Amino acid sequence: MFEIRGLSVNVGDRPILRDVNLSIGKGETVALFGPNGSGKTSLLHTIMGIPGYQVLSGTILFKGEDITGKTLDQRARMGIGLAFQRPPAVRGVKLADLVRILKAVRPDDPGASLQAHIARLDLENIQSRDLNLGFSGGETKRSELLQLLAQGPDLVLLDEPDSGVDLISITAVGQTINFLLEKEKAPAHRERSGLIITQSGCILDHVTTDSACVMVRGRILCTGSARDLLEDISNKGYEGCVQCVP
């Protein structure tokens, strides 16, 4: 489904990603851990094709095609979607209007109706409001997920979906991510893949992952099960991860 080979990226003159290698199979979900400033969000933005990230070397492959030089909108139409950690508020753009636009990005996607998605996320009361303007943390996260549900991407990129979310909303967020990633299906029948950044690991109480990896100083240093890596990080910190790598 998705593969990164030897990816190095600068933002301006500053190196931000260094020789990153990552592979995610069809239907797989991978968690990504790392300290603040390690490059996790930059990796997701580079995958999505957001301007400002200069690829110095390496290749990004999606569905067997090299997308390294493709634009953000081309990647979105191919089936890559991103939920931001801190999406901006946009005056004059209603949530419902944006969702309809996103639905048109991939009109052949057989997902549920927009109203079903809105009801699933309990967003009926804010769909007519300006995007993220005055939204609570939970409403903002659910709004981001609604936009992904409307788009119906095959590769789902989630930047800290558990940050700033209360105990009630995290359950709804987790349930929606499971629906989005087709967790109700047997693993062999899942079509959508996911890459989830999490600092606390709280989302892993609600969403199962197939594997996880740790990013430190712009590099992916190790991979393993999410629970094992979280335990190691808790006991040794991220510097312990660095020491384990030759």
Question: Tens digits of per-residue pLDDT, 45-64?
Answer: 999 999 999 999 999 999 99
Report whether pLDDT(65) > 80: yes
Helix (H) or strand (E) holding 138: helix 137-151
Whether the CB-CB separation of 29 and 38 falls below 8 Å is answered with no
Task: Report d(CA 26, CA 92) in Å as an integer.
Answer: 38
Name the pTM for this structure.
0.89
More confident residue, 235 or 246: 235
Instruction: Report how far Cα 43 is from the mean position of its chain's Cα atoms.
Output: 10
Report whether pLDDT(109) > 60: no
Question: Tens digits of per-residue pLDDT, 66-82?
Answer: 999 999 999 999 999 99
Q: Which of 144-158, 216-230, 231-245 has the lowest mean pLDDT?
A: 231-245
Whether the CB-CB separation of 26 and 191 falls below 8 Å is answered with yes
Question: Tens digits of per-residue pLDDT, 144-197?
Answer: 898 898 888 999 999 999 887 777 778 888 988 999 999 999 999 999 999 999
Domains of the chain by start residue, with CATH: 2-244 (3.40.50.300)
Q: Of 99-113, 119-133, 164-178, 216-230, which one has max mean pLDDT? A: 216-230
Whether the CB-CB separation of 12 and 216 falls below 8 Å is answered with no
Average pLDDT, the chain: 88
Whether the CB-CB separation of 111 and 147 falls below 8 Å is answered with no
Residue count of the chain: 246
Grade residue 245 by pLDDT with cuts at 50, 70 and 90: low
Whether the CB-CB separation of 77 and 26 falls below 8 Å is answered with no
Average pLDDT over residues 30-58: 95
pLDDT for position 105? 67
Token output for 91: 């005056």
HSE-up (13 A, CA, CB side) for residue 84: 9
Using DSSP's 3-state secondary structure scheme, residue 14 falls into strand
